[in-house]
Every structure is written in C-alpha cells, then in structure tokens.
C-alpha cells in the first residue's frame, strides 16, 4: 500500500479523502475481477463434467439479472447512497 500512497502524496496533502477513494475503488475492482475468475473456473468445471450451468442459459434470464442489478444501482443513486 505504501507505493500507492507515495504516488499520490501531493494529492494526499491537498485532498485527504482522495487516497481513500482511490484505494476503495481499486479494492472494489479487485473483488469484481476475482468474482469473474471464479465464475470462469466454475463455468469450465461444469462444462468439463457435462453438468447444467448454474445460471440462466437463455439471454432473457441473463438480461433479467442485469435488470435487477441496474435497478438496484439506479435506486441507490436516487437515494444518494452511492
């Protein structure tokens, strides 16, 4: 963590909350990347053993999941929680 803080030392003096926001955004990004990698591994395992995938196998089902997520984001943004 020190290299990140050293790279933004001027910003840390001028905008103390900026470092926290950068680190939090990076951490959230890493969680998403890890979830994506786990999903890929699960997809490979299920396909390798000819098992049905544990997600909707049609575009409509996948779009429904995205719709729920986007609805959640919009509602949180309107409530000022994002």
DSSP state of 54: S
Which pLDDT score, from 0 to 100, does residue 78 have? 86
**Which pLDDT tens digit goes with each residue over 35-50?**
888 988 998 998 899 9
| Residue 12 reports pLDDT greater than 60 | no
Rounded Cα distance between 41 and 20, Å, is 32
Which pLDDT score, from 0 to 100, does residue 25 have? 59
- Contact residues for 28 (Cβ-Cβ < 8 A; gap 6+): none
Which pLDDT score, from 0 to 100, does residue 45 have? 92
Rounded Cα distance between 81 and 72, Å, is 11
Closest Cα partner for 21 from 82, 62, 75, 67? 82
């Amino acid at each position: 963590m020190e290299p990140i803080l050293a790279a933004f030392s001027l910003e840390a003096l001028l905008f103390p909350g900026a470092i926290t926001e950068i680190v939090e955004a990076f951490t959230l990004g890493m969680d998403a990347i890890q979830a994506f990698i786990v999903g890929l591994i699960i997809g490979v395992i299920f396909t390798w053993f000819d098992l049905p995938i544990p997600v909707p196998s049609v575009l409509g089902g996948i779009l429904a999941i995205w719709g729920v997520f986007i609805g959640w984001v919009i509602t949180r943004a309107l409530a000022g929680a994002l």
